[in-house]
């Protein structure tokens, strides 16, 4: 064995000793573990904590077998983007932290979940980094299929937070909307709009769906072959007069005041 090989072996052994010392320190919660079942499960603090291969679990007040708690998974990478498929206890309520740190993939995630039948409601935040990319992902879903909410707030209404973006801010264009009797139901802040029954022209009078005071909305025609006429004052659109969008590059920017959609700007980009 060469000196370099011997040095590598000593370094590897030192790392294992350090790892064992850290594990022993963790095992000494409340003095000593209450029980060892021979399969890698230990309990501490009168059964209030459990340590096993999936991490540290903190027993819920109701003493359930698979409690809410803290999970650190040694070699599990979630689907990207997250699909709600973490291998965590199948309980009605769960909140915890999961994570992984291994060659090429490093991530940590915070999740709160409540089951209703087979459909969970959950809020999820994940930070991920590898050799080629990094991101922070937030997701909130209700079990009835409606949209969740992501909110940033300050101490009070007089002390609002400041959000700074050091980079590009992207508004994703969601599925196209089709007018029905002058109405569309928005789901996001950027939509293409199509005429009812693929008619050559159609009036847009009212915008329903997801809305709230301060919400921004960008609309554009799906096709220049079908004209969308946004109508001022017919429904809940308050515009600087009607706006005919006859090109897929025309846009209308609106803001919601809690009741109506108010025009901020329009752009007639058609050739």
Is there a domain that residue 164 lies in?
no
End-to-end CA distance of the chain: 77
User: Closest Cα partner for 44 from 19, 69, 21?
Assistant: 69
Clarify whether residues 122 and 243 are in a common domain: no
Is there a domain that residue 150 lies in?
no
Clarify whether residues 104 and 200 are in a common domain: no
- pTM score of the predicted model: 0.62
Clarify whether residues 129 and 186 are in a common domain: no
Clarify whether residues 12 and 110 are in a common domain: yes
Per the structure, the count of domains in the chain is 2
What is the C-alpha separation between 242 and 231, in angstroms, rounded?
5
Clarify whether residues 186 and 131 are in a common domain: no
What is the C-alpha separation between 208 and 123, in angstroms, rounded?
25
Is there a domain that residue 82 lies in?
yes
Is there a domain that residue 165 lies in?
no
Assess whether pLDDT exceeds 50 at residue 88: no
In this structure, what DSSP letter does residue 231 have? Answer: P
User: Closest Cα partner for 114 from 150, 152, 139, 141?
Assistant: 141
What is the C-alpha separation between 248 and 250, in angstroms, rounded?
6
- pLDDT tier, 49 (very low <50, low <70, confident <90, very high otherwise): low
Tens digit of pLDDT for each residue in 196-239?
999 999 999 999 998 889 999 999 999 999 999 999 999 999 99
Clarify whether residues 60 and 185 are in a common domain: no
CA torsion angle for 184, 185, 188, 193 (degrees, to 10)? -20
Q: What is the mean pLDDT of residues 8-22?
A: 81
Assess whether pLDDT exceeds 60 at residue 68: no
* Domain membership of residue 196 as a residue range: 174-267
């Amino acid at each position: 064995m060469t000196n370099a090989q011997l040095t590598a072996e000593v370094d590897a052994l030192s790392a294992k000793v350090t790892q064992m010392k850290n594990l022993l320190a963790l095992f000494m919660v409340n003095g000593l573990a209450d029980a060892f079942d021979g399969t890698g499960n230990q309990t501490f603090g009168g059964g209030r904590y459990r340590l096993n291969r999936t991490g540290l679990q903190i027993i819920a007040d109701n003493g359930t077998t698979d409690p809410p708690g803290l999970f650190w998974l040694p070699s599990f990478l979630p689907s990207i983007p997250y699909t709600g498929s973490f291998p965590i206890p199948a309980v009605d309520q769960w909140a915890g932290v999961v994570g992984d740190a291994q060659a090429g993939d490093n991530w940590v995630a915070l999740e709160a979940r409540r089951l209703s039948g087979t459909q969970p409601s959950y809020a999820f935040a994940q930070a991920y980094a590898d050799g080629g990319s990094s991101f922070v992902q937030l997701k909130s879903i209700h079990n009835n299929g409606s949209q969740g909410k992501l909110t940033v707030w300050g101490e009070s209404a007089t002390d609002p937070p400041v959000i700074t973006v050091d980079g590009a801010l992207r508004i994703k264009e969601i599925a196209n909307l089709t007018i029905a009797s002058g109405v569309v139901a928005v789901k996001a802040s950027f939509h293409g709009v199509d005429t009812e029954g693929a008619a050559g022209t159609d009036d847009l009078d009212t915008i329903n769906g997801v809305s709230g005071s301060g919400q921004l909305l960008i609309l554009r025609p799906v096709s220049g072959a079908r004209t969308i006429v946004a109508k001022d004052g017919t429904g809940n659109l308050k515009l600087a007069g009607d706006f005919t969008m006859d090109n897929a590059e025309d846009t209308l920017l609106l803001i919601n005041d809690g009741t109506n959609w108010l025009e901020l700007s329009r752009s007639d980009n058609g050739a």
